[in-house]
Amino acid sequence: MMAFWNSFLAVYQRELRQDGGNPLAYVFVASFVSAAILLAFQVGGLFEAGRAELVAFFQFHPWLFVVLMPALSMRAWSDEARTGTLETLLALPVPTAALVLAKFMAAWTLACLMLGLTTPLWLGVALLGPVDHGATLTAYLGSCLLAGAYLAIGMAASAASRSQVLSFVIALGVCFLATAAGLPLVSSTLAAFLPLPLTETLASLSMLDAFSGFERGVIEARAIVYFLAVMALGLCLTGLWVDNKRGGLR
């Protein structure tokens, strides 16, 4: 067990160093922070409601993450294959689970740091009036879990493809479908072709449906289990594909 965590920490630190030395990571973080705040003010009307709350800020996170999380995760494995370092990485005496988990946690750390950089907006709103800090903290927790779910999907797509562009497109498509399934327009369209129980089941599996409780400041066990299950599924698929590539090197 100690060997597993030592391997995990070594790969995790490697990934963080690579992200820290990559100018694109800073562009990525700046893009999210600026886009999230701009949407909250210009589209969501953050101050127009006349209430000190951040609902207008969090409601756009699923749609931002649909694009940004696949972009963040697309290089995790496909870039290793492109640069020729994948063979070296897989040849190391590191368990596949440690490799997969370390790469995922490094990307998730960056995503959570990205969210943390938006907290000045929270503090600014709190200066203007009483804010439900518990509800806001819950919404941030939901955003972190949502980002992790999208990242796990992106990791699986990256492991399955040698092309960053292809992995991005695959992850973007899956994430969009997993999100849009909860929209009334999509549900009503699917209801014309599918049985109602199946349509309702698909809508209940939407990322939007799972995230909606966190937006309201409510922590639902069902939503937490859902996000963790998506992460587990994405990482398991990633591990299977990485194991398959490892087998091809033997």
**CA–CA distance, 159 with 163 (Å, rounded to integer):** 10
Task: For residues 34-59, give the mean pLDDT.
Answer: 76
What integer pLDDT is reported at residue 131 of this predicted model?
80
pLDDT tens sequence across 208-222: 889 989 988 888 899
Amino acid type, 179:
T
Q: Write down the pLDDT at residue 157.
A: 93
224 vs 94, residue with greater confidence:
224
Percent of the chain with pLDDT over 70: 91
Residue 197 — pLDDT band, cuts 50, 70, 90? confident
CA dihedral 49, 212, 143, 107 (to 10 degrees): -140
pLDDT at 132: 82
Mean pLDDT calculated for residue range 199-206: 74
Of residues 59, 71, 33, 56, the one with CA closest to residue 179:
59
Among 67, 31, 72, CA closest to 158:
72
Q: What is the mean pLDDT of residues 193-216?
A: 80
Whether 109 has a pLDDT exceeding 80, the answer reads yes
The pLDDT, as a whole number, for residue 249 is 53
Cβ atoms of residues 188 and 103 within 8 Å? no
- The burial class, CB within 10 Å (0-12 / 13-18 / 19+), for 200 is middle
